[in-house]
A and B are shown apart, each in its own frame.
Chain A
Amino acid sequence: MPYTDATLSLLAPDGTLVTNDRNEMYHQAISHLGEADFREFYRVMRVVRRFDIEAGNLQRQGQMALWVPSIGQEGAQVGSAFATRSQDHIFPAYREHAVGYIRGLDLINIIRMLRGVTHGGWNPKETNNFHLYTLVIGSHTLHATGYAMGIGFDGACSTGALEEDQAVLVYFGDGATSQGDTNEAMVFAQSYQTPQVFFLQNNHWAISVPVRVQSRTPLFERAAGFGLPSIQIDGNDVLMSYAATRLSMDAARSGQGPHFIEALTYRIGAHTTSDDPTKYRDEDELAFWQARDPIDRFRTYLTSLGVEQAFFDQVEVEAEDHASDIRARTMALESPPASEIFAHVFTDDHAGITAEAAWLEEYLASFEEGSS
């Protein structure tokens, strides 16, 4: 069993609430949320999952070289993202599509990246500080820590004003915890007491390498070893994900230093569309986690609150429409012009770039058919 005695949850896999001594403070943390918020959680999880499936199909149809599925991890991502405040900065790894959606990212931009149109795809200033994806595992954790250090040096945290004090939320996976950069990020964070939350989505696999190769002990205990207040949650419980992140982020922004959340979840799909999990995972494990799906259990919970079928049907329609729209816009995407190769290599002018860009333009124009 991946769950331990330390695992915290608010909503059991069967969709019923759990109450005990240890999770009372977390129930408190969601007490201000109402049914409208919960409907929104459900809607986002459903829309993003449907989007994810559509993107996978588009890859199989040759419209992208690669797709990175996030199926199964919606609970961890949606809960935590909704718990952040608008002034916060988010540093994702490369699978946090739902988080991006919630911060205002048009998901076509993730497709643009995987279709070979861009290596970036958006401006964090236009996505409520949802930063770009970083494909080198763990590298971004240091960037997040550095940013958080800057918040501290600027005095933009610890004033006691929750609506203004800034904090940084950084997402990464179980594989990343082995990288030196990630461990250095925690060293620096602790040293500078950064307003930062490390959110580990332990989806149990780093491509084909199971988490036990990365660590023999629960990963939240490693962070505790660095001195960070650290908890382990059922990451497929969207309410718990919200609560844990809310409390940790507010503590971090209020001067209590960096915190760590290990969200136990599962990568239902493959690492990417180039991967084949049937080669290394067994069916039982997959079935175990499919039974703990974050969306199913939340639907059950909402139904128990009296949310009507019409709502769920309407969400399905919306999800379908969104997916179709993504499909249409994907097919219409065009390659950037050749000049893009040189467009943003430097901020200031660079003689080598100027000369090479001019050469390429002239070279392409020398063809009888004209430049492409």
Chain B
Amino acid sequence: MRELPLAKAINEGLRAAMLADSSVMLMGEDIAQLGGVFRVTEGLQEQFGPSRVVDTPLAEAGIVGTAIGLAMRGYKPVCEIQFDGFVYPAFDQIVTQLAKLTSRHEGTQAFPVVIRIPYGGHIGAIEHHQESPEAYFAHTAGLRVISPATPHDAYWMIQDAIASSDPVIFLEPKSRYWHKGQVDVEVPGLAMNQAEIARVGRDVTLIGHGAAVAMMQQAADIAEGEGISIEVINLRSLSPLDMDTVMESVRKTTRAVVVQESPGNASLGSEVAATLAEQAFYVMQAPVLRVSGFNAPFPPAGLESIYLPDTDRILDAVDRSMAY
């Protein structure tokens, strides 16, 4: 057992993966000597050398495009996109190429490329440094999309992502980078595609991923003081969604609220809600409610705390669900 901040847990996970498999390499802007703007790759070039930890030119499309070529050659590239808002120059390579290549090659080749993206708000950042783009990727078949919420998740899920034969979008909640947690480096966590019941409850199920998990836990603490028992699900895997775990919870509580930083329109939360409406129709006492960012561009940092779901907004949705 070790207590590690989430950024360091990913660092250790990358190290373990690189030790286990010499075809694993890292590429991105400022990841080598600087160790990444969030220090997630700190010390790795020193340990594994400049041909396995590579600083790239400033070109996101170039990073993903060349990673695809490297994967064709037999490498397992782990790309870092420096911030969520900068993934869009690479979007074409990700959705028209990486997502489709396995299928285009009719299964004769695998494309084990991991794309690590720090995402999400709550750090008071400037434009393009606080977004939650998971829906674009979950919407695209051929990509696996996962997001750790805790250091223990992070340590094991990055290794799972690297070991996967499929392209994986690995969304790292940057507001949680410096939060510490217990990491069991001997015993892995749940499988990559599994959701976790992060807190057991009776009355309402809160569903979310990444940084939202901590926020939901805080809301649940407050609700407990008011006599409402909340069950919290950490989705971990956004594509595929672990609906078995979600359904089991919702059958018990009969009420569900999805929490996400991203805007709600056509979001991952919309997919969870629609699927629950279909699968849990007879069970649910209230419609699935979504607590999301507003459908406006992410605002300047001074308005971030209003824009992003907070415990009050979550508990407001819990109240509305309970009132049905």
Say whether A and B bind each other. Answer: yes
Cβ A341 vs Cβ B306 within 8 A: yes
Determine, out of B26-34, B112-120, B179-187, the stretch whose residues face the partner at the interface.
Answer: B26-34
How far does the alpha carbon of A138 sit from the alpha carbon of B59 in the complex, in Å? Answer: 10
Cβ B58 vs Cβ A135 within 8 A: no
Instruction: Knowing A178-B62, A208-B33, say if A372 contacts B55 (CB, 8 Å).
Output: no
Cβ A208 vs Cβ B34 within 8 A: yes
Closest to B57 in A: A178
Interface centre among B88, B89, B296 (most CB of A within 10 A): B296
Cβ B302 vs Cβ A356 within 8 A: no
> Which residues from chain A contact B30 at a C-beta distance below 8 Å?
206-209
Residue in contact with B300 in the complex, picked from A117, A179, A209, A214, CB distance below 8 Å: A117
Cβ A345 vs Cβ B301 within 8 A: no
Interface size range of chain A in the complex: 35 or more
> Which residues from chain A contact B302 at a C-beta distance below 8 Å?
115-117, 335-336
Residue in contact with B299 in the complex, picked from A209, A341, A353, A356, CB distance below 8 Å: A341
One digit per residue, 1 when the CB lies within 8 angstroms of any chain B CB and 0 when it does not, for chain A 41-73 equals 000000000000000000000000110000000
Cβ B307 vs Cβ A341 within 8 A: yes
One digit per residue, 1 when the CB lies within 8 angstroms of any chain B CB and 0 when it does not, for chain A 109-130 equals 0000111111100000000000
Residue in contact with A136 in the complex, picked from B34, B85, B299, B307, CB distance below 8 Å: B85
Closest to B304 in A: A116
How far does the alpha carbon of A338 sit from the alpha carbon of B265 in the complex, in Å? Answer: 19
Closest to B36 in A: A208
Cβ A372 vs Cβ B33 within 8 A: no
Cβ B89 vs Cβ A181 within 8 A: yes
B88 to nearest A CB, angstroms? 8
One digit per residue, 1 when the CB lies within 8 angstroms of any chain A CB and 0 when it does not, for chain B 286-305 equals 00000000111101111110
Determine, out of B10-18, B125-133, B220-228, the stretch whose residues face the partner at the interface.
Answer: B125-133
Quick check: is B271 within 8 A (CB to CB) of the other chain? no
A280 to nearest B CB, angstroms? 4
How far does the alpha carbon of A352 sit from the alpha carbon of B295 in the complex, in Å? Answer: 8
Cβ A279 vs Cβ B294 within 8 A: no
Residue in contact with A352 in the complex, picked from B59, B128, B265, B312, CB distance below 8 Å: B265
> Which residues from chain B contact A35 at a C-beta distance below 8 Å?
none
Quick check: is A175 within 8 A (CB to CB) of the other chain? yes
In the assembled complex, 19 residue pairs joining A and B whose CB atoms fall closer than 8 Å, in A order, are A65-B125, A117-B300, A119-B126, A178-B57, A179-B59, A206-B29, A206-B58, A207-B37, A208-B30, A208-B32, A208-B33, A209-B57, A213-B56, A336-B300, A338-B306, A340-B303, A341-B296, A353-B296, A364-B306
Interface centre among A209, A214, A353, A356 (most CB of B within 10 A): A209
Closest to A138 in B: B58
Known: A179-B59, A213-B55, A336-B302. 11 other contacts (CB 8 A): A114-B126, A115-B301, A116-B300, A116-B303, A135-B127, A135-B128, A175-B57, A179-B58, A276-B34, A352-B265, A363-B313
Quick check: is A137 within 8 A (CB to CB) of the other chain? yes
Residue in contact with B55 in the complex, picked from A209, A352, A363, CB distance below 8 Å: A209
Quick check: is A102 within 8 A (CB to CB) of the other chain? no
> Which residues from chain B contact A135 at a C-beta distance below 8 Å?
85, 126-128
Quick check: is B316 within 8 A (CB to CB) of the other chain? yes
A104 to nearest B CB, angstroms? 23
Instruction: List the interface of chain A (C-beta within 8 A of B).
Output: 65-66, 113-119, 135-138, 175-176, 178-181, 206-209, 213-214, 274-276, 279-280, 335-336, 338, 340-342, 345, 352-353, 356, 360, 363-364, 367, 372
How far does the alpha carbon of A119 sit from the alpha carbon of B128 in the complex, in Å? Answer: 10
How far does the alpha carbon of A340 sit from the alpha carbon of B306 in the complex, in Å? Answer: 11
Cβ B35 vs Cβ A363 within 8 A: no
B117 to nearest A CB, angstroms? 15
Quick check: is B124 within 8 A (CB to CB) of the other chain? yes
Closest to B65 in A: A180
> Which residues from chain A contact B312 at a C-beta distance below 8 Å?
367
Quick check: is B123 within 8 A (CB to CB) of the other chain? yes
> Which residues from chain A contact B58 at a C-beta distance below 8 Å?
137-138, 175-176, 178-179, 206, 209, 214
Closest to B316 in A: A363
How far does the alpha carbon of A117 sit from the alpha carbon of B301 in the complex, in Å? Answer: 7
Instruction: Knowing A209-B57, A213-B56, say if A279 contacts B34 (CB, 8 Å).
Output: yes
How far does the alpha carbon of A342 sit from the alpha carbon of B306 in the complex, in Å? Answer: 12
Cβ B299 vs Cβ A340 within 8 A: yes
> Which residues from chain B contact A180 at a C-beta distance below 8 Å?
59, 61-62, 89
Quick check: is B48 within 8 A (CB to CB) of the other chain? no
How far does the alpha carbon of A213 sit from the alpha carbon of B57 in the complex, in Å? Answer: 6
Residue in contact with A279 in the complex, picked from B35, B56, B61, B306, CB distance below 8 Å: B35
In the A-B complex, the 3 residue pairs with the smallest Cβ-Cβ separation, listed nearest first, are A116-B301, A208-B34, A335-B302
> Which residues from chain B contact A138 at a C-beta distance below 8 Å?
58
B96 to nearest A CB, angstroms? 14
How far does the alpha carbon of A340 sit from the alpha carbon of B37 in the complex, in Å? Answer: 31
> Which residues from chain A contact B265 at a C-beta distance below 8 Å?
352
Cβ B301 vs Cβ A280 within 8 A: no
Cβ B59 vs Cβ A336 within 8 A: no
A340 to nearest B CB, angstroms? 6
Cβ A178 vs Cβ B55 within 8 A: no
How far does the alpha carbon of A178 sit from the alpha carbon of B57 in the complex, in Å? Answer: 6
Cβ A113 vs Cβ B300 within 8 A: yes
Instruction: Knowing A117-B302, A136-B85, A336-B300, say if A342 contacts B34 (CB, 8 Å).
Output: no
A163 to nearest B CB, angstroms? 36
How far does the alpha carbon of A180 sit from the alpha carbon of B66 in the complex, in Å? Answer: 14
B103 to nearest A CB, angstroms? 25
Cβ B34 vs Cβ A178 within 8 A: no
How far does the alpha carbon of A274 sit from the alpha carbon of B62 in the complex, in Å? Answer: 25
Cβ A356 vs Cβ B294 within 8 A: yes
B257 to nearest A CB, angstroms? 15
Interface centre among B86, B127, B306 (most CB of A within 10 A): B306
> Which residues from chain A contact B62 at a C-beta distance below 8 Å?
178, 180
B89 to nearest A CB, angstroms? 7
How far does the alpha carbon of A367 sit from the alpha carbon of B311 in the complex, in Å? Answer: 13
Residue in contact with B125 in the complex, picked from A66, A137, A341, CB distance below 8 Å: A66
Cβ A178 vs Cβ B59 within 8 A: yes
